[in-house]
Chains A and B, each alone.
Chain A
Amino acid sequence: MECMIAKPSKGSAGKTGLWRTFKPIYDENKCNNCLLCWLYCPENAIDVVDGKISIDYDYCKGCGVCAKICAKKAIEMVREEEL
């Protein structure tokens, strides 16, 4: 029976970072720690580590919501192949 119950796991669809066309690049110096990007990341791929944000690129799908919501323009979407 136990084997039939799904358990909470990251990456239930695999490493979804591979879906990305644009990568969010975070500039710590522009950030005012409002945490709006953390709250509005649909993928839940942004963590708060010691009050600073950290993006989990293994799973970030590159939707760009974080860059749009940032009033300080501290996140920029850059095409993957340009990196």
Chain B
Amino acid sequence: MVVVKIKDLPKEKFLLPGNTSCQGCPHALGLKSLGMALGDDVVLVVPAGCTTIIAGSKDKSSFKFPCLHVPFASAPAVATGLGSAFRRLGKRGIPVVWMGDGGSDIGFATLSGACVRKDDMIVIVSDNEAYMNTGIQTSGTTFWKAKTTTSPTGKREEKKDLALIMLMHKADYVATASVGYLQDFIGKLRKASEIDGFRFIHLHSPCPPGWGFDSSETVEMARLAVKCGAWILWEFDGKFKISSISKPYADKSKRTPLAEYLKKQRRFRHLSDEDIAEIERRIDEQWRVVLALEEVF
């Protein structure tokens, strides 16, 4: 992948200041990177979520690109229609679906349909591991044992791996990214924009009020997740590759101790040493799968 240099990034803002995002919001980091990566080629499609609020209200929009607000489960289906309209009318534009883990849980049927048809779009799931906008309820991607308002003693079910699901769904491009590594995310968006068909990026987005950490630590928390191996950066563009940032952490001795990441978050403060050991075991298992995929896929 081409290295993205900070000094070469465009200075034009596509996410305007003074919007309603919380202090230290990871979606805001993701959305501004989207503008830096693809500029005014973006036509954003947003189902209900925090981003619906961030987009602004009444006559004021906080985005410089067009944005469509659509009913919850419909976002990829709307992008399918947009994509075919652009093609037939000869208009420039990339339909970009921006949704949270809620949108991808509730809208999984349309997501799956668009992927099967290889419809022309980029789907970004900005995953803060719970339904934050409605009050921090458990989602499909919430970590095992994480406290939410619907799992007050910790989530009992395993988290689903959305990016690997989309990989097995034969999407044309699949990647994981993190708001802790924006240059990597921008590089992946640019690469996705050069590939035709259905492209999917799973963006890890630590949420200060939802996870219970200080607003200044969003980037630090996202980086800790990668450094302790809990979030693995990889991409598939015909060949499955672990990204260079995550590569060193295949070696367990290079990883930051998991407790450092977990104990900084209110949602994990109740964990026992046995729980942490169990999470570590699950992370090791995840690495075995990803390393095996790099060999065979």
The chain A residues found within 8 Å of chain B, CB to CB, are 3, 6-16, 19, 34-36, 38-40, 42-45, 47-48, 56, 58-65, 67-69, 77
B87 within 8 Å of A (CB atoms): no
CB-defined contacts of A40 to chain B, threshold 8 Å: 29, 182, 219
B13 on the A face (CB < 8 A): yes
Count: A-B pairs, CB below 8 Å: 115
Q: Fill in one digit per residue for B1-36: 1 if any A CB lies within 8 Å of its CB, else 0.
A: 000001101010101111111011110110010000
B214 touches A64 (CB 8 A): yes
A35 — which chain B residues lie within 8 A by C-beta? 6-7
Residue from A43, A48, A64 whose CB has the most chain B CB atoms within 10 Å: A43
**Residues 173-216 of chain B: 1 if any A CB is under 8 Å from the residue's CB, otherwise 0?**
00000000011000000000000000000000000100000111
Q: A7-B61, A8-B64, A9-B56 are in contact. Are A44 and B217 (CB under 8 A)?
A: no
Chain A residues in 8 Å Cβ range of B59? 3, 6-7, 9
Judged by a CB distance under 8 angstroms, whether B218 is at the interface is yes
What residue in chain A is nearest B13 (Cβ atoms)? Answer: A44
Contacting pair B215 A10 (CB below 8 A): no
Distance of A51 Cα from B127 Cα, bound (Å): 34
- On chain B, the residues within 8 Å of A36 by CB distance are 6
CA gap between A39 and B220 in the complex, in Å: 14
Interface flag for B91 (CB, 8 Å): no
B220 touches A68 (CB 8 A): yes
Let me know if B63 is at the binding interface, CB within 8 A: yes
Interface residue ranges of B51-86 to A (CB < 8 Å):
55-64
| Chain A neighbourhood of B7, CB < 8 A | 35
In contact, A77 and B216 (Cβ under 8 angstroms): yes
Cα-based distance from A19 to B28 in the complex (angstroms): 16
* Given A39-B182, A58-B18, A64-B216; A12-B62 close (CB under 8 Å): yes
Provide the residues of chain A in CB contact with B218, threshold 8 Å. 42, 63, 65
A78 to chain B, nearest CB (A): 13
| Residues of chain A within 8 A of B56, CB atoms compared | 6, 9, 12-13
Q: Is A43 a contact of B28 with CB atoms below 8 Å? A: yes
Give the Cβ gap from B32 to chain A, nearest Cβ, in Å.
Answer: 5
How far, in angstroms, from A13 to B32 measured CA to CA in the complex? 17
Residues of B within 8 A of A45 (CB): 17
Top 8 closest pairs, chain A to chain B, by CB? A64-B216, A11-B18, A12-B56, A59-B17, A63-B23, A63-B24, A6-B61, A12-B60
Q: How far is the CA of A62 from the CA of B57 in the complex (A)?
A: 23
Question: Given known contacts A10-B16, A13-B20, A67-B216, is B64 in contact with A42 (CB within 8 Å)?
Answer: no
On chain B, the residues within 8 Å of A34 by CB distance are 6
Chain A residue at minimum C-beta to C-beta distance from B5: A35
| Separation of A10 and B55 alpha carbons in the complex (Å) | 11
Contacts of A62 in B (CB 8 A): 23
Please give, as numbers and ranges, the residues of chain A lying within 8 Å of B215 by CB-CB distance.
63-65
Task: Closest A residue to B28 by CB, please name it.
Answer: A42
Which among B6, B9, B18, B28 is the interface contact of A14 at CB below 8 angstroms?
A: B18
A56-B17, A63-B23 given; name 4 further pairs at CB < 8 Å.
A42-B21, A47-B11, A59-B17, A64-B23
Considering the chains assembled together, what is the distance between the CA atoms of A14 and B182 in angstroms? 27
